[in-house]
Amino acid sequence: MSPLLMEQYDNDAMQMPFAQRPIVILGAGIIGCATARQLLQNGFPVVVVAEYLPGDQDITYASAWAGAAWHAAGGIKPEQRYLQAVTHRVLLKMAQIPESGVSIVKAREYLEQKPAPDSAIWGRTVTAKFREMSRDEFPDNFYCAWSYETLVTDPTRHMPYLGKQVTELGGTFVRQRVQSLQELYDKFPESRIFINASGLGSLTLTDVLDDRCFPERGQTVFLRTDKCNTMYFRNGQEYTYVIPRPLSHGVVLGGVKQQDNLSPEVDLDIARDEITRAHRLAPDVVPEQPADEDVSHIIGIRPSRRGGFRLDSEKHGDRNVISAYGFGGGGYAFSYGIADAVGKMVENVERENVIV
Ligand SMILES: Cc1cc2nc3c(=O)[nH]c(=O)nc-3n(C[C@H](O)[C@H](O)[C@H](O)COP(=O)(O)OP(=O)(O)OC[C@H]3O[C@@H](n4cnc5c(N)ncnc54)[C@H](O)[C@@H]3O)c2cc1C
């Protein structure tokens, strides 16, 4: 391009109305894709840049491997509970569309101890059919138990579904690994909003280098069974769950959290231990020794962050960077609430730019 034309191009780019400047999202996991869908529905143009895209299966692409159950998190702030509540509302609607991979299931949650004031019990305000179970309905080694209806998302269906939705709404995916956010600023000079939904990527992006981020390995067992309509969740010191995946005719048995472990190899001792614990929790669903042909293994690296996830908007000159990463073991339960919150942050930036 001649210098004269280049100058003309720069001038045109500078004069581009705010709402026509593509919003650039780094990361195509559940957080990046849910956010892209929300922004596209709100009428913004969106480009999603990521190394791994919906349908891919790298172990560091956490969204391909999640359980993924909606479970009310304990010990979180009221505004974070609201993010989960919004997610629940959106997933409940999606559960009417089988292609989305979202299903409504029963849940039985057994508590090792008396619930603390900030425990997961707040979930009763969001879930249907919540009730305290009577003593004869749960094993006597637990203090109390709740039953309710919850939502499970089958990521093998949901991520491709969401990817398709983003494309159909007019969004664009660009497969590219970047070393920094600056690389995106250079690639999209006309853009004013950049959303960092890179999960674990934020540990190594050279202009983010968030040292609170760390990989947390998960390994679960997928057990093929038609008894797949109830979630069992052990609430306490022991971390055991049975998450149904009705559309895939099975249940996911977990779990483990292994900090700073990136091994892609199946650890059979972990798998055996998970089966044993799941059998103790749900003997009617999980046999003590399931047949080998009914068992397969799932390995994924959670994008965890000390102190919890990051969700904020910062001004960098005439650009705005919104950070939404570090969701560890809860990215699905927060996903559509995060997308909604980011959508509001984007509208706040829009307001600052159009009311001058
Ligand atoms: C075994 C297991 C069980 C789980 N169970 C549950 C559950 O029951 N409920 C629940 O809510 N959550 C669960 N999770 C957690 C959930 O999977 C994660 O919190 C969620 O997937 C994180 O999504 P994300 O979009 O932030 O990150 P990711 O899915 O990891 O996506 C990150 C994206 O950023 C891209 N990226 C990163 N760095 C770069 C770069 N430098 N250049 C280009 N692209 C980059 C990647 O390619 C990818 O597209 C589970 C996770 C595991 C592993």
Contacts of 37 (CB under 8 A, 6+ apart): 162, 165, 166, 169, 171, 339
**Whole-number mean pLDDT of the chain?**
95
Distance (Å) from CA 37 to ligand 1 centroid: 17
Mutate to test the pocket of ligand 1, among 25, 30, 59, 153 (most ligand atoms within 8 A of CB): 30
Dig out the tokens for 170 from the structure. 């007019």
Q: 239-255, pLDDT tens digit by residue?
A: 999 999 999 999 999 99
Peptide bond into 68 cis (omega under 30): yes
Q: Take atom 22 of ligand 1 and give the residue whose Cα is closest.
A: 331
Q: How far apart are CA 168 and CA 71, in angstroms?
A: 30
Distance (Å) from CA 344 to ligand 1 centroid: 22
- Looking at the domain that runs over 18-68+154-212+306-356, which CATH code has it been given? 3.40.50.720
Mutate to test the pocket of ligand 1, among 60, 187, 198 (most ligand atoms within 8 A of CB): 198
3-state helix, strand, coil in the chain (%, to 5): 35, 25, 35
By CB neighbour count within 10 A (0-12 exposed, 13-18 middle, 19+ buried), where does 54 fall? buried
Q: 302-347, pLDDT tens digit by residue?
A: 999 999 999 999 999 999 999 999 999 999 999 999 999 999 999 9
Q: Take atom 41 of ligand 1 and give the residue whose Cα is closest.
A: 178
Residue 241, annotated as binding a ligand: yes
Is 173 touching ligand 1 by the criterion CB < 6 Å? no
Is 76 touching ligand 1 by the criterion CB < 6 Å? no
Residue 90, annotated as binding a ligand: no
Give the pLDDT confidence score for residue 252 in this predicted structure.
98
Residue 300 pLDDT class (50, 70, 90 cuts): very high
Q: pLDDT > 70: what percent of the chain?
A: 96
Q: 194, 208, 202, 206: which is closest to 47 by C-alpha? A: 194
Q: 349, 353, 287: which is closest to 322 by C-alpha? A: 349
The pLDDT of 263-285, averaged and rounded, is 98
SS3 of 71-100:
CCCCCCCHHHHHHHHHHHHHHHHHCCCHHH
Distance (Å) from CA 68 to ligand 1 centroid: 11
* Whether residue 13 has pLDDT greater than 80: no
Q: Take atom 7 of ligand 1 and give the residue whose Cα is closest.
A: 68
| Residue type at 41 in one-letter notation | Q
pTM exceeding the 0.85 threshold for the entire prediction:
yes
Mutate to test the pocket of ligand 1, among 327, 334, 335 (most ligand atoms within 8 A of CB): 327
Give the pLDDT confidence score for residue 4 in this predicted structure.
52
Give the pLDDT confidence score for residue 1 in this predicted structure.
46
Give the pLDDT confidence score for residue 117 in this predicted structure.
87
* Whether residue 119 has pLDDT greater than 60: yes
Distance (Å) from CA 35 to ligand 1 centroid: 14
Give the pLDDT confidence score for residue 238 in this predicted structure.
95
Residue 337, annotated as binding a ligand: no
Give the pLDDT confidence score for residue 6 in this predicted structure.
53
The pLDDT of 220-249, averaged and rounded, is 97
Sorted by where each begins, the domain ranges of the chain are 18-68+154-212+306-356
The pLDDT of 279-303, averaged and rounded, is 98
